[in-house]
Amino acid sequence: MGRKFFVGGNWKCNGTTDEVKKIVSMLNEAEVPSEDDVDVVVSPPFVFLPIVKSLLRPDFSIAAQNCWVRKGGAFTGEVSAEMLVNLGIPWVILGHSERRRLLLNESKEFVGDKVAYALSQGLKVIACVGETLEQRESGSTMAVVAAQTEAIADRVLNWSNIVLAYEPVWAIGTGKVATPAQAQEVHSELRKWLHENAGAEVAATTRIVYGGSVNGANCKELAAKPDVDGFLVGGASLKPEFIDIIKSSTIKKSSL
C-alpha cells in the first residue's frame, strides 16, 4: 500500500480571530480529494486552536506548533502535550527550524525528547529536519539531517505516528524553493537512512514531506517525485492556493 499524501499548513505566528475565521471558511468551502487519499492538517497558533477546532470541517485535522518536552508544571509560557490531548488536538509540529535556530536554540536532543514525550502521550508528530545554506554549501546536508533524524530514532521505536518534514532552512519563507531534484535527493537519502537505522518497514511507510516556499505553482512538480509524500506549507497555507497544494495529491494517485 502506498503512503497517504500529507499536506500540513503551518500558520506560524499569524492571524487575528477574524482572519482565522476567514481562512477556515475558505478551507471548509473547498472541494478537495477525499480524506482516504490525503491527510490535511492545519496548524494555527495555540490561542486559536479551540476556535479552529470548533469551526473546521471534520475531514481536516489540527496540529499545534509546539509543546513542552515533559509533563506540565511550573514552566511559564509553555503548553504541555497533555493539554493538547485534553483539547482534542491530535497533531503537533516539533523541531521546526524557527525554534531550533532562530528563537530558542532547541538542540536535536531536546527535539528528540519532545518527539518521544509527545508520542507517549498519544499525539502524532510532524518532526522537522533541515540544513542551513552554509551547511548545504559545505556539503554537509545529509550529515545534518541524518543527525537530526538520529536524535529522534534514538528515542523512538514506533514511527507510525511520525511524519518527517524535510525543510531546508534556506528555502523557508525566502521564495527560494528546493528544486524537485534537490528535494527528491534528500528524501531518498533520508529513506535510505531510515532503512538502515530504523528498519525496512519504517522506511517504506514513513511519510517524508517537503517544506520551504511551496506554493500553488511549484507543488505539482515536487509532488511528482517518488519520495515526496506531501508538504508542510507556511506562507501559502494562509491563502486560497493552499487548496491547489492539497489537490496536488492527485498527481501521486495517477502515478501509482
Which residues of the shown chain bind ligand 13P in the complex (CB under 6 A)?
A: 10, 96, 167, 172-173, 211-214, 232-236
**Per-position b or e across 44-54, b if 16+ CB within 10 A of its CB:** bbeebbeebee
Return the C-alpha cell found at 37. Answer: 487519499
Measured at CB, which residue is nearest to ligand 13P? 234
Q: Torsion-angle region of residue 12: left (phi > 0), alpha (psi -120 to 50) or beta?
A: left
Nearer to ligand 13P, 112 or 235 (CB): 235
Q: Which is nearer to ligand 13P, 186 or 203 (CB)?
A: 186
Least Cβ distance, residue 249 to ligand 13P (angstroms): 17
Q: Please indicate whether residue 150 is annotated as part of the active site.
A: no
Nearer to ligand 13P among residue 174 and residue 255 (C-beta): 174
Alpha helices in 67-125 (DSSP H): 81-87, 97, 108-120
Smallest separation (angstroms) from ligand 13P to the CB of 103? 13
Q: Which residues pair with 231 in a beta bridge?
A: 7, 210
Of 185 and 241, nearer to ligand 13P (C-beta) is 241
Task: Spot the catalytic one: 96, 106, 131, 187.
Answer: 96
Residue owning grid cell 532503512: 195
134: cell is: 552554509
Q: Which of 31, 167, 201, 221 is catalytic?
A: 167
The least CB distance from residue 188 to ligand 13P, in Å, is 21
Answer yes or no: 96 catalytic: yes
CB 99, CB 13: distance < 8 Å: no
Provide the annotated active-site residues.
96, 167
